[in-house]
Amino acid sequence: MGVSEILVEIDREIAQLQLARTLLAGAPKKAKAAAAAKKPKPAKKRKKRNLSPEGRKRIAEAQRLRWAAQKKAAGGK
């Protein structure tokens, strides 16, 4: 590959990069205008989760066991 071929290749890459820069520099203006025109959607409400009495009982028992273990570990403080 000669020097002239290298220069032609560099000029071709520069032209491609300039085109890409022009396209990218123009893109945010269009994106901002489109975003400003679009109304934001309201947030969806989450469905309330209910705990069954059996589940509540299991959690309460587990917590009592944790408290008992803490009390035992603390000694007679």
pTM: 0.37
**pLDDT band at residue 1 using 50, 70 and 90 as cut-offs:** confident
What is the reported pLDDT for 55?
95
* Least confident segment among 5-14, 26-35, 53-62: 26-35
How would you class 74 by CB atoms within 10 Å of its CB: exposed for 0-12, middle for 13-18, buried for 19 or more? exposed
Q: List the domain boundaries for the chain.
A: 1-34
**pLDDT band at residue 26 using 50, 70 and 90 as cut-offs:** confident
How would you class 31 by CB atoms within 10 Å of its CB: exposed for 0-12, middle for 13-18, buried for 19 or more? exposed
pLDDT tens digits along 33-71 = 555 566 667 778 888 889 999 999 999 999 999 999 999
Write out the H or E segment, with its range, that includes residue 17.
helix 3-37
